[in-house]
Structures are given as structure tokens and as C-alpha cells.
Structure 1
Amino acid sequence: MLLEIQKKIRQMKVIRMINRLPITIKVTVWYTTFLLILLATLVVVSFLITDSFAISMSEQELKKSVNDIVTGEEDYEPFDEGVQLLFYDASGNLQNGKVPDSFNIEPSFSESVIREYSNSGSQFIYYDSQISDGKYQGNWIRGIISVNGLKQKLSMISIALLVICPMIIIIISLGGYTIIKLAFKPVKRISKTAIEIGCNYDLAKRIELEEGNDEIHQMANAFNEMLDSLEEASQHEKQFTSDVSHELRTPISVILAESQYGEEHIESLDEAKNSFQIISRQSKRMSKLVNQLLEISRMDRALEVEKMEFNLSEALRSMIVDYRSLAEANGLALIERIEGDIYIYGNKMMVQRVFDNFFTNALKFTSTHIIISLRRNQQFCYLSVEDDGPGISEENQNRIWERFYQTDYSRNKESNTGFGLGLAMVKKIMKIHDGDAKVETKQNGGSIFTVSFPVVKS
């Protein structure tokens, strides 16, 4: 039992040692081992089959040479491609040909049988066949071939393999190791870059590799894209924190100032009421900001939103009824151009929030009228809210969708008490609904805010 435990411990140590080795060495050792086994097997097999292969080839050549003469396909020649051919009469007397020096055996013929003979280190095989017709009928043809020469040639091949195989193993191992090392060089660079980013918190750093389209380059490109996203998220986070701090600084300062003033200087009930009203207004402002931030945060984290198929045309007409009185109270005309029976698949409350943000913005900045339109094509429907206000410059048309961003005239307008979160919320909602949001400014002034929803095929 103790020996088995010790054996397992040793095995675990070996495994740990192997795991510490670089991948290049592991892979090189792996295929080199199999290559070594394969080549060693080849050399051993070549030595083992040399004798049998030499005899087999000699037998084939011997039979062919003798039978060609017996059948008359070829004329008799004493020597034919390594085979010595002897011509005997019916009584066994040698008529033609020369017996090899080491082949000391009395003629004893056996039809079509290959036999072996060894003498003083020389090995022969011989084959007899009797002529069955013609003027030489009854005579014998004996073929004799020495297998020593062919064995030596085959042995030389085996020895050559034995010498060449180690060289082949060395060349392949070194070449493979070099190729693997070069192939994993980008991985080393990726690891180095990742460590530098982790140590220095430098999300602007990127993995720099030469041109390539293999799996490692694809992985490096994926890492770079991930770093782009992380850097962008980090920048948004910093900007978000800065903007929130900026938006909260003023109401907090006012509340603190009023509280301190009330504690030290207020002497009458009217002064106290005035201070409380200021504190209440600033507190409500802060509460509204926090609620909007929480709602956007929930949208950021939401993986699934409850959706259903509903009639956007009817929902929009119902909302316009509620908003028409608000527009008329501000002296504005409300014009609707809505196509009927347009169905979408989405969250009805979120879609209402999109329209509410667009209409509220139009109400702030328009001069005479607001145009609400809904139209569709084969794939999408387009909800637009158009005003005749000052419009939005081209440089601001992309930035207005950012959190807390407000154009200069928007910030300075007295009626605008927002935080610059509404359009950011619209962008997030449209992303959830696989749609898009955009804005354009008309040449004669005014803006058109448009969102697009995939329509349900009827």
C-alpha cells in the first residue's frame, strides 16, 4: 500500500514538472517521441525482413529465368540477370553452363521445387525444370542464384536508415521547435501586453502584431476589440461620474447653504417657509435625477424585457389625445399623420417613454406647431416628432444621445429643466427593441426626431 502511494506521488511530481514546461517544448517532445518510435520501428523492421525479402526477390527472378527458357520464350544463355543457368541432359550430365565455385552438390533434379544450399558462408537457392517438348525434350534446366549479394545491398539500405534517421529526427525536431516558437511568439506578446495593461491600468495600449489571419492573430484582434470596448466603457464611466458630480453639486450646495442660513439667521416663519421651499425644490430635482439614473442603470443590466405584440398606431393616437391639451395650452398646433394598423413587438411602456421624451423636447423648443407621424415600409415603421425650433447643429447631432449632454441653447433656455438623460434613455430603449434613433435638422429650421421599429408581418 505504501509503495503504491509513493508511486502515485512520484507520478504527480512528474505531471507537475511536465506542466511547468513551455508549450513549445511539450509539443516538440510529443511529436519527436512519436517520430522516434516510428523511425526506430522502420529500422528494426528493415533489418528483420532483409533475409526473407532477399530470398523472395531471388525466387521470383530465378523462376522467371528458368521458365522462360523451358517454355521457349527466350533462348538459352548461361547467365541471365544474376541467375546462372545450367543445361543438363536426361542422364544428369552437364552440357552447358558453369557451376558456381561454392556450389558443390551432385545433380539431383526435382521438378519446379525451389531449394536452398549453403556452403562456407555462401547461400544459394536453385530451381530445376524439365523441358517437355522439342529436340531437347527430357533435358533439364537448373537455375542457381546467390542471395548474399542482394542481402548485402538490402542490409546497406537498413544501415543507411539507421544513420539517416537520427539526422532526420534532429532536423525535424529543431525545425518544428523553431516553427512552433515563432507561431507562439504572438501569444507571448499578447501576454506581455496584458500584464502591462494590468500593471499600469493603461486601457489605451493595444496588442501590436504583424499582418496575419491565423487563429492567433484573430485572437489578438478580438483582444484589441475587447480593449476598445473596455476603454470606451471606462471613458463613459469617467464622464458619467463627472457629469453626475456636476449635476448634484449645485442642488447639494444650495441645500447646505439654505440649511446653514436657516440655522443661523432665520427669525420669522415666512423666512423659514421660503428656505424650506428652496430646499424642497432642490431635493425634488435631486430625486428626479437619481430616479432617471436608476432607470437607465436597470436598462443597462436588463437581459430580457417583457415584450408583446401591440398596435402602435392605436397606442400613439391614444397618447396624442392626452398630449393635445398640453400643446394647446402652450399655444401650439398639434398635427398628426399616422398610418393605421401598424403592429410592433415590444414593451409598450418603454415605447410610450420614447414618445414622451420626443414630445417633451419638441414642446420646449418649438415655436408654432408639432408634427407627429407614423409610417411603414416592408421591414420597419418610423415614428417621427417634428418641431420648428432652432434646430441642432451637425456637430451636436451625435452627442445629444450621450448622458447629461445638452446643447448650449438647451442649457440656457429657462423652460428646459432637464438633465440631458431623456435622449440617452431613448437610445437605450431602441437598442433593446432592435431599432434605431436619429435626428436631422431642416434647412428652414426645426428638428425631426425619428425612431424605427421592426414591424410585425401581417
Structure 2
Amino acid sequence: MKHLSVKQKLTLWITLLMLLLSTLVLGFMVAVSSSVVTENAYDQLTSAVQNNLSGISRENGSLKFSEGFSFTNNGVYTVIYSDSGALLAGQLPLAFPEGTALENGAIRPVQGVDDSYYALDLWLPFGWQDGVWVRGILPAPDIADVLDDLVGIALLLLPLMVVVSGLGAYLLARSTFRPIGRIIQAAEAIGEGRDLSRRIGLPPGRDEISRLGQAFDNMFARLEASFESEKQFTSDASHELRTPTAVILAQCDYARKHAEDPAQYAQAIEVIERQAGKMSVLISQLLQMTRLEQGTQRACFEQADLSSLVEVVCTEQPEFPKDITLQADIQPEVEACFDVTLISRLLQNLIDNAARYGKQGGHIWVTLRRERKDILLAVRDDGIGIAQEQQEKIWQRFYQVDASRGSEGGTGLGLTMVRQIAALHSGTVTVESASGQGSCFTLRFPAESRPEADGTSS
């Protein structure tokens, strides 16, 4: 048994169970048939005798029989005896034993010479002490013949039922377990070739197998996303950390050679510190983006006052370089369901981006308002702007409109993170800009509806 497949075991089990059930049903039918045949014979005999009772009368000392009376009716013989047991009318079956005692109201079997009979005696009174015995005699039905016919039919139908049930069980098991075979093939293919793009692709359904296949596909999708995030993180980190690492190593060598000169030594330490800080910011942002993509931590969505949050973020901004001025136009008491930490980071990234690409003596305008069921948060500047052909590229990792500004602290990850946070809040972020005319980034997300599945947060 242990070498059989699940389909074979299931088919064998159902076939054996059906065979056992068929045997029990056959035994039950034999027992019930015997009882039914005997019961029908009793009913037939009783009905015939009782119907004939109403057709017997006595006039002037002689028996009279009505037109509906019959001495043989539906296989039942009717004979009339006197109160002393003398035969008055009717004819006994040839094999019925004469002299059989009379017993009022009881059906009993009587064994003849060659055959068996059922007999029913009823006393029909004509007065206080006068009357006749009416006896009904029915040849006992041959139950063996009935059982032979029943067994013959059963032997023809039951094996057919067993075969059909076994075949049906096999076909059902095969169709049921075929998706499991696809699951196994997909899992083996992924295990052997690490092809996480493979999917089982079962049609949607509510049965357990379909749900299992969908669960595996979702698991494969999450695994693929995790591996892709890991690959992206490794690629980004190795590429972007190469330059600051090389600078740090070069400055260490420079400091070692000029250790006797305090000024040059201090300068080297300052460069190392600056590059290490840049590496720290870069690694922190990469980790944050990876967590957002993989969903490793739950976001804390809550109903809060967005107006107060935006006002606090704008108020706590440090002094901007190039004498840039920040102005806020905040609609009061704007309530929304959002993650406070993530929205704070989104707004800070947009303000930092506006300051980094602003002009000398420029301005940054932060606007918050509610339009019907949506929240609009906009950050506008009058800086260098973004050319039309570059506006789709700014959402890519490490892309910078003006690469020469990279030394000012930008990593090229801020806008990528902004778009991720917007998507997490079921919202969108758009940009309106032109070269030399500044840029306006607008976040729009629903105020009341919470995302169906919680996202992530640091």
C-alpha cells in the first residue's frame, strides 16, 4: 500500500467500500424481500377471506352465496365448514392435508404433501349457537424463486456499480490531484532553476485546490519580489557606495602620509566624516525603500490632523541655503487616515528636493487643502525646473536632474520613496514643471478610505 500513489489508494479504498456496501445492501434486500413476500401473502389471504364473508348467508337452513362470491379468487381457495368441522362447500387444494384443525382468526403455515400453504379460519355466526367456518387457503409463495431473481439482478447490477464507482473515483481523483501535480512541477522548477517568475496559474475557484494554487502563486510572487529587492539593494549599494568608499580610502592614505601636518590631517578627517555621513544616509534610505517594497513592517494608519502635521514639519525646517524662503498655505483641521511617519518623510523629501534645486533668494510654497473626499498636498518651488523629457526619469532610483548638485547631499532616492509612500496610501504623486520655471509636486490621496492591506513603515 505504501508504494501506491494517493490516487490509487483513494480509488482502491472507494472500490472496496463500494463492494462492502453493495454486499450489505444485497443482504438487506434479501431479508426485506423475504419479509415483504410473506407480508403480501398474508394481506392477499386476509383480503380474500374477508371479502367472501359478506357473500355468505343462510336461508331456510341452506347456505346462500352472493353473485360476487368466488371459491377461488386471486389464488386463494375458500372452503366452508360446519361448526363440527364437516366440509359444506368449496374444494381443498389437492395437496392440502384434510383434517387440519380450525383456529379462529389466526394465519398459520400448513405443510402439505408436496407444498406449503397459509391458512386463515374465520367463524361466521348466524345466531347464538349457529354458524359456519370460512377457511381461506393460499399456496405459500416460493421465496427461493424470488430470491433467485433478486440475486440474479443484484449479481448483474452490483459489479457494474462497483466498476463504475471505482472508475469514477479514479477519474475524480485524477482531475482533483492534477493541479497538485502542477504545483509540484512549479515548485521543483523554482527549486532547481531558481526561476521565481514561474506561476502555477490555476483558474480561480473556491475549492481547496484552487485556493492552494493561488496561495502558492502569491507566495512565489512575494518571494520573487523579495529576491528582486535584495538584488536591487545589492546592486544599488555596491554601485553607489563605491565612490564614497574609494574617497574614504584615499583620504585615509592621504592622512597617513600627512599625519605631521595638523591642517591637512584635519581636512582628511573632515572629508572622511562627510563621505561616511553620505554613506549612512544612503544605506538608511536604501533599507527604508527595501522595507517598503517587501512589506516587512506594518504601517501605522490612524485618523489624525494632517494640518497640524504639515504645519509642524514646515515650522521645524532649518535655515535653507541660498536664502530660500518657505511659505505655507494650510487649510485648518484637515483630518485624514494616514501614517504620520511616512507622510512626514514624504513632505520632508519634497521640501529637501525643492531646496536643493532652488535658486538664490528663491521660494518654496507648501499647500494643503481638502477637495471633497481627497487630500491635496503640494510643494512648489521657483528653481531650475525639470525638462519635459526628464519628468518620467526623476522617479527612477539615483536619477538626478542636475548631477552636479549631487555633492549637496542628494542621493537620488527621495522621489522614488515619495512615489512608494503615495502608493502605500492609495494615492498618486504628480509633477508639473518646465526648465527654468520651477516645479510643483502634488500628492493626492483619499482622506477617509484606509488601504485594504496595511503597508510598511520603518
Is this a same-fold pair by TM over 0.5?
Answer: yes
Q: Does 1:382 align with 2:365?
A: no
Give the residue type in structure 1 aligned to 2:21.
L
Structure 1, residues 27-80: CA drift from partner, whole Å, max 9, x if none? Answer: 334433433332222222333444433222210111011111213498122332
- Which of residues 435, 439, 442 in structure 2 aligns to 1:446? 439
Partner of 1:4: none
Partner of 1:339: 331
Q: Alpha-carbon deviation of 1:235?
A: 2.1
Q: Alpha-carbon deviation of 1:196?
A: 1.6
Change (3 A) 1:255 1:405: closer
Q: State how 1:267-286 maps to structure 2 within 5 Å.
A: 272=265, 274-286=267-279
Q: Alpha-carbon deviation of 1:265?
A: 8.6
Partner of 1:436: 427
Partner of 2:309: 315
Partner of 1:356: 348
Give the residue type in structure 1 aligned to 2:38.
I
Q: State how 1:54-453 maps to structure 2 within 5 Å.
A: 54-72=37-55, 75-88=68-81, 92=85, 94=87, 97-106=90-99, 108-120=101-113, 122-132=115-125, 138-162=131-155, 164-209=157-202, 214-260=207-253, 272=265, 274-295=267-288, 303=297, 310-323=304-317, 326=320, 330=322, 332=324, 334-344=326-336, 348-366=340-358, 368-376=362-370, 381-388=375-382, 390-391=385-386, 397=392, 404-407=397-400, 409-413=401-405, 417-426=409-418, 434=425, 436-441=427-432, 446-450=439-443, 452=445
Structure 1, residues 102-160: CA drift from partner, whole Å, max 9, x if none? Answer: 212226433322121113452210112344569xx944432211223355214421453
* Mapped partners of 1:382, 1:447: distance in 2: 12
Structure having greater relative contact order (Cα 8 Å, sep ≥ 6): 2
CA contact (8 A) 1:372 1:383 kept: yes
- Which of residues 17, 28, 50 in structure 2 aligns to 1:34? 17
Q: Which runs of 5+ in 1 are unaligned?
A: 1-16
* Mapped partners of 2:433, 2:280: distance in 1: 36
DSSP-derived class of the 1:116 partner: strand
Give the residue type in structure 1 aligned to 2:330.
I
Give the residue type in structure 2 aligned to 1:353.
R
Change (3 A) 1:190 1:259: same
* Mapped partners of 2:204, 2:443: distance in 1: 42
Partner of 2:456: none
* Mapped partners of 2:98, 2:394: distance in 1: 113
Greater Cα offset, 139-148 or 158-167: 158-167
Q: Alpha-carbon deviation of 1:248?
A: 0.6
Change (3 A) 1:335 1:279: closer
DSSP-derived class of the 2:68 partner: coil
Structure 1, residues 176-227: CA drift from partner, whole Å, max 9, x if none? Answer: 1222122111111211221121011111222255786643233223322332
Q: Which runs of 5+ in 2 are unaligned?
A: 56-65, 451-458
* Mapped partners of 2:41, 2:175: distance in 1: 51
* Mapped partners of 1:285, 1:332: distance in 2: 23
* Mapped partners of 2:346, 2:30: distance in 1: 86
CA contact (8 A) 1:129 1:140 kept: yes
* Mapped partners of 1:445, 1:83: distance in 2: 116
CA contact (8 A) 2:258 2:265 kept: no
State the percentage of identical aligned residues. Answer: 28
DSSP-derived class of the 1:38 partner: helix
Greater Cα offset, 263-272 or 364-373: 263-272
* Mapped partners of 2:358, 2:139: distance in 1: 114
* Mapped partners of 1:178, 1:347: distance in 2: 53
Quick check: which one's helix share is greater? 1
Change (3 A) 1:130 1:27: same
Change (3 A) 1:321 1:174: closer
Give the residue type in structure 2 aligned to 1:56.
E
Q: Give me the CA root mean square deviation.
A: 3.9
* Mapped partners of 2:52, 2:438: distance in 1: 113
TM score, norm. by length of structure 1 = 0.78
Q: Alpha-carbon deviation of 1:339?
A: 1.3
* Mapped partners of 1:449, 1:405: distance in 2: 21
* Mapped partners of 2:444, 2:151: distance in 1: 80
TM score, norm. by length of structure 2 = 0.78
CA contact (8 A) 1:311 1:343 kept: yes
CA contact (8 A) 2:110 2:116 kept: yes
* Mapped partners of 2:204, 2:284: distance in 1: 49
CA contact (8 A) 1:374 1:383 kept: yes
CA contact (8 A) 2:364 2:380 kept: yes
* Mapped partners of 1:229, 1:141: distance in 2: 92
Q: Alpha-carbon deviation of 1:410?
A: 4.3
